[in-house]
Amino acid sequence: MRFITRDTDYALRAMVLMARALRQEGRKVFTVEEIVLEEKLPKVFLRRILQKLAEKNMLLSYKGKSGGFSFLVKPARISIANVIRVFQGEIELTNCLLKGKICPNRPECKIRKKIKALNSRVVKDLENINIEELSE
Amino acid sequence: MRFITRDTDYALRAMVLMARALRQEGRKVFTVEEIVLEEKLPKVFLRRILQKLAEKNMLLSYKGKSGGFSFLVKPARISIANVIRVFQGEIELTNCLLKGKICPNRPECKIRKKIKALNSRVVKDLENINIEELSE
DNA sequence: CTTATTGATACTATATTAGTATCATTTAGA
DNA sequence: TCTAAATGATACTAATATAGTATCAATAAG
């Protein structure tokens, strides 16, 4: 089962790396190249990922020579849930039941309700894990 | 995000239907055709799904004329977790970190530990929702 | 025996995921 | 001012997973 896709995974790793260097060495700006060397990730793919995080106002990007990416939001305020949402959309365990096509006759389906309650807990948990603590 | 695939979804619906008819009318054996008519599902696809449930010893199949499927295990003892496992394998939110390829340098990765704890809770929750109660 | 059923398996279609290629734009610094 | 190093944007390709169809074999009730 795929819960976290590679987009999300790479984004988390890149930011965890950045958060650690920020805390330990005060380093703020990272190029894609630097992160790729540390983490051994596909370069252009990671670039697009960081671009998206910048577009979503988690990171700040600097174009041109000696450019790169830094945090716009403090690592402590970026949760795993936030990152998942950027790349995978809303966290939704009940996809099977919410679309008319698949479950047209069950407006008050029990499976749905049960899974929704579970979903809320999962989301809450994911909201409570942030990049800062992951970097410690 | 895809948590429950259509296999799992159809399997749950078919069994919920069967459990309800069993409780309400004492009906035990259902043909694929009957379930398909009620739930509007693709026939051959559902057949394969029920075959798999039989293979995994949740259902019992009867071949030949007036054959069909019945429960081998009581609906109350079949959890959503059981069904997910049949079609999607072990419930594993940390697929991103457990495969050597993707995360070779982090044997004690923090993200992994956190998500593992979350995973345990999700599994526990899914173990506690069964077909019988879904049919009520 | 015939027919309605499941068993098994090969095939196809579609969607998603993962990644590459390429060119445009920006900007620091020689 | 020019160049090189960086991100921005977008189109393309490959691999994988998901969802389903088609078909024939085996079985067993009546």
Does the pLDDT of residue A99 top 70, yes or no?
A: no
Q: What sections of chain B are H helices per DSSP? A: 6-25, 32-39, 43-55, 80-88, 95-98, 110-127, 131-134
Residue A66 is assigned to a structural domain of this protein: yes
Q: Which residue has the higher pLDDT, A117 or A2?
A: A117
Q: Which domain holds residue B58?
A: 6-134
**Cβ of B14 near strand C (distance < 7 A):** no
Q: Which residue from A9, A13, A95 is facing B4, i.e. has the nearest CB?
A: A95
Does the pLDDT of residue B116 top 70, yes or no?
A: yes
The reported pLDDT for the residue numbered A55 is 96
The reported pLDDT for the residue numbered A30 is 98
Q: Are B109 and B91 in contact (CB under 8 A)?
A: no
Domain count, chain B: 1
Residue B119 is assigned to a structural domain of this protein: yes
Residue A1 is assigned to a structural domain of this protein: no
Question: What percentage of chain A exceeds 70 in pLDDT?
Answer: 82
Give the single-character DSSP code of B94.
T
Residue B1 is assigned to a structural domain of this protein: no
CA distance A5 to B97: 11
Interface of A with B in 94-133 (CB under 8 A): 94-97, 102, 104, 110-111, 114-115, 118, 121-122, 125-126, 129, 133
Residue A68 is assigned to a structural domain of this protein: yes
Question: Lowest-confidence range among A129-133, B74-78, B87-91, B113-117?
Answer: B113-117
How confident is the model over B118-133, as a mean pLDDT?
87
**Cβ of B104 near strand C (distance < 7 A):** no
CATH code of the domain containing A39: 1.10.10.10
Residue A79 is assigned to a structural domain of this protein: yes
Angstrom CA distances, A43 to A30, A135, B113, B117, B136, stand at 13, 22, 27, 31, 52
CB proximity B72 to A under 8 Å? no
Which nucleotide has the shortest C1'-to-CA distance from B63?
A: C6
**Cβ of A66 near strand D (distance < 7 A):** yes
Most confident of A47-56, A108-117, B2-11, B103-112: A47-56
Residue A81 is assigned to a structural domain of this protein: yes
Does the pLDDT of residue B35 top 50, yes or no?
A: yes
Rg, Å, chain A Cα set: 18
Query: Measuring CA to CA, which residue among A29, A6, A2 is closest to residue A17?
Result: A29
Residue B50 is assigned to a structural domain of this protein: yes
Question: Lowest-confidence range among A29-38, A83-92, B24-33?
Answer: A83-92
The reported pLDDT for the residue numbered B98 is 37
Distance from CA of A22 to the nearest CA of B (A): 18
Q: Which two tokens stand for residue B115?
A: 């998500």
The structure's pTM equals 0.85
- Return the exposure string of B110-123: e unless at least 16 CB atoms fall within 10 Å of the residue's CB, then b: ebbebbeebbeebb
Q: Are A69 and A50 in contact (CB under 8 A)?
A: yes
- Torsion, CA A45, CA A79, CA A126, CA A35, rounded to 10: 30
Q: Are B35 and B24 in contact (CB under 8 A)?
A: no
Cβ B96–A4 below 8 Å, yes or no?
A: yes
How confident is the model over B44-58, as a mean pLDDT?
97
